[in-house]
Amino acid sequence: MPRVLRHSFQVSTEGGQPLVAANVRVDVRSAPPIVVGSPFRAGMWLVHNGPGQHRSAHWGSALVDGRTTWIPQRYAIDFIGVDDNGRAVRGDFRKSSNDDWIGFGREILAVLDGTVYAARDGIVDNQPLVEPPRPSSPSAANTYGNYVIIRAGDGTFVHYAHLQRNSVAVKAGEAVRRGQLIGRLGNSGNTNGAHLHFNITDAPEAGTTQGIPFVFDTIESLGSTTAAIALGAEPSAGPTPVSSATQERILPLDGAVVRFR
């Protein structure tokens, strides 16, 4: 694999004029993906807006300043809790409260040893399915709600966003160990449904940083579904089953239903 890739693009503007970007440099990351543990104590989880879904909001998070392009959420995942039937909400999702969501309040764990770089609590959880105001910037302060960011020993940063109000169990500067409780899943910040936004980056900022590839050391693959089916917005008998299999050092793709081991 070369250390550097170079691309040239030609596109048309709305007025029909050609726009050319030549010799665009992309540095190829040679380091292996970071291996992390489970972010949850228990439960089944739908991988939403995950890797492989190029139309997701995460892949649409690219920021360009004329010289550098950042894709901070390139490998980010929104984990939505589901029950044994693949449902994310008890009852009619259109009339749901946060407590009706399967994942709401579930324990969230540190996936590796590190030091808490930043943490925030006290932001009220949103009402489900109500769009929050558009954030003024992609910063953690404007999008994450209640959150924890952990600095790993290799200088990378693990982001946990949208945590439940009054659940954050760590503070900035505190050393944490893999498997330690750091908070509970909520619906705070730039979100309209209870989930955990999980991401690893090369810098602490939520915006001007690059997403870093990671793998979970062990997961159990259970099937696949979509958020619409999990919410009950589309009919389905449940997740599309697969042969249940334990996988090691894997990054689950968008739509996967997994259990952490």
Residue 24 lies in a domain: no
> 110-154 pLDDT, tens per residue?
999 999 999 999 999 999 999 888 877 767 788 999 999 999 999
Burial status of residue 17 (CB atoms within 10 A of its CB: 0-12, 13-18, 19 or more): exposed
In a domain, 43, yes or no: yes
Is the Cβ–Cβ distance between 51 and 216 less than 8 Å? no
Would you say residue 100 lies in a domain? yes
pLDDT, tens digit (0-9, with 9 covering 90-100), for 46-70: 999 998 887 777 766 677 776 777 8
One-letter identity of residue 70:
W
The pTM for the full model equals: 0.88
Q: How confident is the model at residue 79 (pLDDT cuts 50, 70, 90)?
A: very high
Number of domains comprising the chain: 1
Measured in degrees and rounded to the nearest 5, phi and psi for residue 128 equal: -55, 140
Start-to-end C-alpha separation, the chain: 33
Domain coverage including residue 92: 34-260
Domain-located, residue 20 = no
Does 140 reside within a domain?
A: yes
Look at residue 29 and tell me if it is in a domain: no
Burial of 28: CB neighbours in 10 Å, binned 0-12, 13-18, 19+: exposed
Does residue 200 or residue 65 have the better pLDDT? 200
In a domain, 75, yes or no: yes
Q: Is residue 63 part of a domain?
A: yes
For the domain that residue 87 is a member of, what is the CATH number?
A: 2.70.70.10
